[in-house]
Amino acid sequence: MTKATAGQEASRRGLAVFDLDSTLLPIDSDHAWNEFMVSIGWVDGAAFRAGNDRFYADYQAGRLDIHAYVAFATAPLAARSEAERDDAHRRFMHEVIEPTIRPEALALVASHRARGDLVAIASATNDFIVRPIAAAFGVEGDAVVTTRLGRDADGRLSGRIDGTPAFREGKVARVGQWLAGRGERLGDFSRVVAYSDSPNDLPLLEMATEPVATNPSAELASVAASRGWRVLDLFGAR
């Protein structure tokens, strides 16, 4: 498909971009993975949990240093083999993530596919954590836009970020790079719908023709009310 053809095809359909944590999932998978590493004994519980909670509070407050966080969170991964990491993630999916995946979230993603929309998941959480979760929603390959973990010349995790982190303005940049790789751009689509719970994703929501504050924090709910954005309580009271 040529770039011109791709753009013409896009103009006949929409684009739906979903944040993951606290948007499609009712939990934060990044924070939950770190708690899981505590539970399986990969890290010192008290010290690591304190750091995890501190970085999570920084994220919620909009002041996260994502480079410092990735260095902190990936140090335990770098100390394990790829096989150990993959085995642990399979347990994490079975024990932690799968019980939280709600039919409402699956149905929302499916509704966009049924309309013929191009669907992506864009998450500031790293690719190791996100990709198997995104696959559970039927989103795979380049349509999973994440913060990529860097590797050294020998292929080992370096504790650094590869390229632009998919965080705040960087998430919009990475979505743009993904589309460009497909020969498309935002303006090619008849509508662009973005879903997020967090004010960290204001740049993502602002790029959309249909921003949806989904399970929003109090701060994002206030912004949505002032701008007339749609608010979606995806999971409701349980």
Q: Which of 21, 188, 197, 201 is catalytic?
A: 21
- Whether pLDDT at 55 is above 90: yes
Mean pLDDT of 145-172: 96
Annotated catalytic residue, options 19, 28, 117, 201: 19
> What's the confidence (pLDDT) of residue 236?
79
- The pLDDT-based confidence of 2 (bands split at 50, 70, 90) is low
Residue 65 annotated as catalytic? no
pLDDT tens-place string over residues 109-156: 999 999 999 999 999 999 999 999 999 999 999 999 999 999 999 889
In the predicted model, is pLDDT for residue 3 greater than 80? no
Which tokens hold the place of 46?
């008290």
Overall average pLDDT of the 158-176 stretch: 97
pLDDT in tens, 18-44: 999 999 999 999 999 999 999 999 999
Residue 8 has pLDDT above 70, yes or no: no
Q: Tell me whether residue 58 is one of the annotated catalytic residues.
A: no
Task: Give the pLDDT confidence score for residue 238 in this predicted structure.
Answer: 42
Q: Give pTM, 2 decimals.
A: 0.93
Residue 76: per-residue pLDDT: 96
Own/partner pairs, 232-235, CB within 8 angstroms, 24+ separation: 232/195, 234/23, 234/24, 234/102, 234/104, 234/105, 234/108, 235/26, 235/102, 235/104, 235/105
- Measured in degrees and rounded to the nearest 5, phi and psi for residue 143 equal -75, -5
